Amino acid sequence: MNRHVCILNPAASVKGVKEQVVEGKTPEITIEQARTLLDAVDTGHVVGLRDRAILATLAYTACRAGALAKLRLSDFQDDGTQYVLRFQEKGGKSREIPVRHDLEGFILAYVDAAGIAGEGKDTPLFRASNGRTRKLTANAMTSKRICELVKRRLKDAGLPSRLSPHTFRVTAITDLLSQGIPFEDLQYLAGHAEPRTTGLYDRRQKKVTRNIVERISI
């Protein structure tokens, strides 16, 4: 008796909100692999000192290769209590990240060996090298050269070639989240405008282990 009271369903054309969980595609570097990479660098010359400082900056600040390439000598400074690095990010934004003690030592060792401590504030912090001569030029490292450097050092250390400068951002964010660091602090560390972007770097409990696929009963 109650059929056809409402000929059309008023909610039929309303689409529900789709929940979509997206994980970034960038692979992470393990803590052990990162330590192996840093330890494998020959620091007996200025290029090795530079490369170790670059790798450590990527690892300990979660910066982008592009922001690292823009660093000038004046961006590495002592604020009276600690050294900081001032990164120029996308959209003209800047942020200051404290420099942990081992990274401070790596950068100071490189700056001393490069002989650039007394140069102008616009001097590139990380300079390109001239081929295999192990001599630095006056030009800044480009983001492309930094990527090539990381790939070369990964190969030398016998580590997977699929890793990249961006893998350090994944590892740093995941590691600090696992330690209970507030999400908003990591959003600032990564230089993200939206918290959702930072979430793409979270790899906690999002892995399919080999133990799982070995149990497929085919």
Which domains are present in the chain? 31-202 (1.10.443.10)
Using the predicted structure, report yes or no on whether residue 3 has a pLDDT greater than 70. no
Mean pLDDT of 103-121: 94
d(CA 54, CA 68): 8
How many residues are recorded in the chain?
A: 218
Ramachandran region of residue 214, left (φ > 0), alpha (ψ -120 to 50) or beta? alpha
pLDDT at site 62: 87
170/18: higher pLDDT: 170
DSSP letters spanning 83-140: EEEEEE-GGG-EEEEEPPHHHHHHHHHHHHHHT-TTS-TTSBSSEEE-TTS--EEEEE
Which phi and psi (to 5°) does residue 96 adopt?
-110, 130
8 Å CB contact between 189 and 201? no
Strands lying side by side in the sheet with 83-88: 76-78, 83-88, 94-98
Check residue 8 and report its DSSP letter. S
pLDDT tens profile 79-96: 889 999 999 877 777 888
Among the listed residues 117, 141, 120, 121, the one whose alpha carbon sits nearest the alpha carbon of residue 129: 141
pLDDT tens profile 163-210: 989 888 888 888 888 888 777 777 777 777 776 766 766 666 666 666
Q: For residue 2, name the pLDDT band (cuts at 50, 70, 90).
A: low
